[in-house]
Structures are given as structure tokens and as C-alpha cells.
Structure 1
Amino acid sequence: MTPTWLKARASRRVLAAVLGSLSLAAPAAISAEALRNAVFYYGDAANWNSLRAFQLAVVEPDAGLLSPPPPHATAGASKTDWFAYVSATEITAFRDYYFDVPLSWRAGLNSAWQSEIIDPATPGWPSFFVESVVTPLWNRGYTGFFLDTLDSYELLDLNDAQLEHSRQGLLRLIRAIKDKYPEAKLILNRGFELLPAIHQDVYAVAFESLYRGWDQTEGRYVEVSQDDRAWLLKQIERIQQRYKLPIIAIDYCPPDDMDCARQTVKQIRALGVIPYVGDGHLRTISTSALSDSDKAPF
């Protein structure tokens, strides 16, 4: 789910200066039990009222999007929890911290998304991630973080022992965030194997492509195979029974195919899972998962 656009470093510094001069909206206090809808939006411009119709909004903080919105950006106080997208184990050149990551930490490539993979077993990575990735976003007003690329280390040529070291590195990273910011809300993108150790520190679990997915390599929408869906359904059942955490399924349909979106939302919701159906790059805001009462701004 790594965004595909690039932004100039100078433009981002100007934006950061503007954000720093604004008084950001106070974070909402939405309990996990009350969570019923969410939006994932990685574009660089938006109708704020469309985003504010959701209880939870995950946005790409480096897209040039002014969020969380300052109080004057929308009418009334925002009741949306704003989460920043962060990549837990991959880096790309448009991030301000990219050149601060030592070359020795870069263990492989994710060619589909043109990003470099950091082995989370790297001793310095958790502290670097907190100080260089999370802290600047926290200072901008984000109190929630969507941790993506939690399974990218599996693309590396690692043996069983090394894979376990990488998993322990991810646990250290998550604990480092909570140690520094105990009030931070964390959503995992997958990370199913981490839950036994850190489920108490997790706000919700998300995953992609339950019924319909996006193939980045081929640039097309795809139907999810029965085998892949069956595996995900087992994960859903385990989370619902053992951890009682909210589960969010992110599926993909062409933005002009509302029948696809509505059908997929219905299928996901029937499982007791929170649905969001967006385009392949999450660059448009879809309201297909909102009820009529939700579509009016809070």
C-alpha cells in the first residue's frame, strides 16, 4: 500500500512549517468498541467533510494533505480520529528521513513498490523509527498510526532463525512506540503473528484483499482466490475469538464501479468486519461503506 507519488523535499519543509504554526484539532475519543467505519486515503487533496464523515481516517501524512485539519478547515470540531500511514519496514526516497537510514540497514528491495526493505531485526531500527518517523508526526497532531509493511521482511532471503529475529524486531518497534507514546493508537496491517505478544497494545487490525484486490505489478484489479480468502477468514475468526479487536478489511474496486463496491462492502460487513473499499492506490474517497446517517458530517 505504499503511495506511488513523489514530493519535493523543499515543498514538504514549507508544509511542515505551515502545519507547525497551526493549532491542530483535538483528537477524538472513539473507543474501539464503538468503531464502525473507517477511510483510507493517500491523496494530496480532499473534501474535508467527506473524510470527517468517518470515525477513523488513515491518511498519507507526506502527501501535502493538511491533516489532522486545523479547526478552521471545517465547520465545527472534528470528531474523526486521524491516523498517519507509516511504513514499518520499508523506505522510499520521498521520505525526509530516507538519507538518514544507513546503507547497511537496507536489506532488500520491494520492486513492485520501488522501495527498500529494512530488516526489523536491525538493532538501531526501533529507536530510529520512533524518533525519525513517529515523533515528527506526533508533533504534527497525529495520535494514531497505521503500521504497514509488517510482513515485508518475509521477502528477504532469511532462514527460520533469522525470520524469528525479524519478528522480535517488530515487537521491539511496536513496544518502543508505546513506551514513548503510551496513548498512541496503533492499527496493524496484518501482523497476525505478532498479536499473541502485543495484542494489548493494538487498537485494531487491518488487512487487504479479502474478496477483491489490487495487483500493483500488473496494474489491475483482481478477484481474491478461495485459498487466500480461507486463510484470512481463519485469521478473522482467531482475532474475534481471542483478542476481541476491531478488524478492518480493505478491498479494491474501480472507483467508477459502485456495484462492485457495494457488493464487497456487504460481503465484508456480514462477517462482523469493518469494510472499506477503495481504488487501487487509495487516491479517491469512497463512501460506499457509510450508512445514510453517517454520510452527513459529524
Structure 2
Amino acid sequence: MDELEAIKVTFFQECEELLADLEGGLLAMQDGNDDGDTVNAVFRAVHSIKGGAGAFGLEPLVRFAHVFETLLDAVRSNEVPATPDLVVTLLRASDVLADHVSSARGLGDVDEAVSASMAAELKACTDPNAAPAPAAAPVEAAAPVVEASVAVPAAEALIGADDALDDDDLGFDFQPMTITIDEQAADVAAAAGNVWTVSIRPKSDLYRKANETALLLRELARLGPIEATLDASAIPPLELLDAEAAYATWTVRLETDEDENAIREVFEFVDGDCDLEITRGEAVATDDALAALLAGSAPAPAPT
């Protein structure tokens, strides 16, 4: 067993303990012991499961745990009262969470219809206007995950003059890069109307809640080929850097036949924890702007 698998085994062992703590806390709440310590312990159990699941890329478990956690956060902040009916709902949700853990462990399948219905019920407790969950579609094989570091299709890049690159070349002193762009190939998807630009600016809470941008990019890649660009220009010098702040922004070019709602569903479990902008079409530089960028200068303003 390799080191990663050993860590994963430990995580699932901890999940068993956390699920037991969750059930015990909810039963205590059902008996009227809904003090702050009990509610906080219940919240931490779900939060810890979600955090570990995020580290291993267990997206379905992360999604459901996030919805569960959001409601528990509202309960512990007294935004939602812990009524007897609510506690019964939370106990049923803990059973679904346990099913997700078992599924992630390879010990069974989650009833997607039950999970979606339970998630919708949890959301309705904090947002009465939340739409009911649609009927679960038949499970299909997941589309292959597309690497997020792909350059523009039909582009050829020549880095330096050597065809091979040894370990000594992997520093920060990169040579000038020449790029040839096949505009016709790049425009085919845009002309078909299935190109989207997704701008993601994570907030500190996204990482504080044990979420990862990588999970979002992976989910977007299930909708179609993506090209992700990281803008790290807002990161301050080390002496001014706040370790708990979020500075980076991602711009993703996505080719998909899905609509905007399907794209937004990817970000459903981080709603409010990132600034999200979705636009049809792609934000690409013109040839002149790209040439100016490669030359190290800003493009000249367009004539009026």
C-alpha cells in the first residue's frame, strides 16, 4: 500500500468516528440538548468529513457535505432554529452522508434521487425559495478529464531552440516563445456558440471551508474541454502576504454544449465563497495584442 492509500484508509477510519459523533450529537439535540457545544460538535464533524473528501477529490461527497454544513452553520449562528422537525431532517441527512462516505470507499452506491432530494430539503431550510431537486438522471460514464494546462488548440509553441529539455532547464529564466495561431480552428467552436468564458475569483472562505479551485476546474472539465489561465498578479510581496487571504483569479475557456445553468451548477456548493462571472464567447487577445504581449509591451489603443 502506497503512502497516499494509507492516508486514505486513515481518512475513512476517521470518517467512521466523525459519523458516530454526528449521530450522537444529533440524538442529543433531539433529546433537547441543543446547546452551543453540541451544535458546534455536529458542525465540526460534517466540516471535517468535507475537508478530507476535498483533499482526495471526492466531489459528490464534498457537494453533499457542503449543503449539510451550510445548514448546520446557520443553526449554530441562530439563523435557523433547531426545531424537533429540523433535527429529524438532520438525522436523515446524516444517513445520506454516511451513504456518500461508503460510496467513496467503494462499499456501495448512493441513491442519486434520494441524495438530490435530501440536498434540496436541506437547502430549503435556509432558503425557502430554493428550487426542488430535479429527478436524478441515469448515471453515465464520466467524460474523461481534460488537462487544464492545454494551450490554444492548433497552436504551435517553440520554446528556445532545443527540442529536448533537461532538468537544468527547468528554472525561471525562460527563453522567448514564438506562437503560431490557426485562427480558423480557434473560431470554429465560437461560431457554433458553444464557447464560454468563466471567471473565478475565490474568496478566503472558499479555502477556509476546505474547498479547492482544482475541484471546480475538474468539474468544469467534465462538461467539455477547458483551458485555464491563472492570474496571480494580485499576490503581494511575501512580507505583505496574508496566509489566509485569497489573491488568485482563474479565467477558464470552456467548450460545451451545456447551457449556463449547467455551468453554474458546478459552483453550487461554493455559492457565496467566490465571485463568479460566466459569459458566452471567449476573451482572447487579438493578433496585435498578442504580439505586443510577447514583445513585452502593451498594445496600442484602437483607432477611433
Q: For the superposition of Structure 1 and Structure 2, which TM-score range results when normalised by the shorter chain?
A: under 0.3
What TM-score results when the alignment is normalised by the length of structure 1? 0.27
Question: Greater RCO between the two (CA within 8 Å, min separation 6)?
Answer: 1
Q: Which has the higher strand share?
A: 1
Larger Rg: 2
